[in-house]
Amino acid sequence: MKYYENCPVCEEGIIFCLMRIKYITIPSGNIAEEETFFVKFLGFKHTGELELWPNVHCKLLSNNDTDIHVAIIPERCTSNQKAVIIFNTENCLKQYHEIIKHGVVFNHKPYYVSAGMIAEFTDKEGNQFILLEERSYTEEEEAWKMC
């Protein structure tokens, strides 16, 4: 069975399905501490609770984007897998310095990758967070911008 059978296809033949991320799960052995980390250090707000699986309740947090929520779930609900969350930012360096002011320790200073500039940090639970400032590094694109 093809899972993409009923999805519209654009001109280039790429499958185009209208899907949006609604929740990003963060497994935690201490939900209260993880919630404090998001609220105190990253500026999120508590937006409620949700039962994602039978008898498994999680805390919902948002950072002003009401369509996407972080759902902190009990660690026992995962197979000891940790989350990787990528935050898109307009200015990685500025965001990096702003977050450092709140006491967050980054894994290293911001650096460049093919997608742009990134900075990474990990919370006490082992979840990884990446700040990404998307940039293009090809000479042709840079020359085009200067015209």
Say yes or no to pLDDT of 52 above 80.
Answer: no
Interacting residues of 37 by C-beta distance below 8 A, sequence separation 6+: 123, 124
Coil, strand or helix at 65: coil
Structure tokens at 143: 């020359």
Q: Which tens digits make up the pLDDT trace of 57-107?
A: 889 999 886 678 888 988 876 666 678 788 888 899 999 998 998 889 999
pTM assigned to the model: 0.60
> Please, what is the end-to-end C-alpha distance for the chain in angstroms?
49
Q: Which tens digits make up the pLDDT trace of 17-31?
A: 444 667 888 888 899
33 vs 82: which has the higher pLDDT: 33
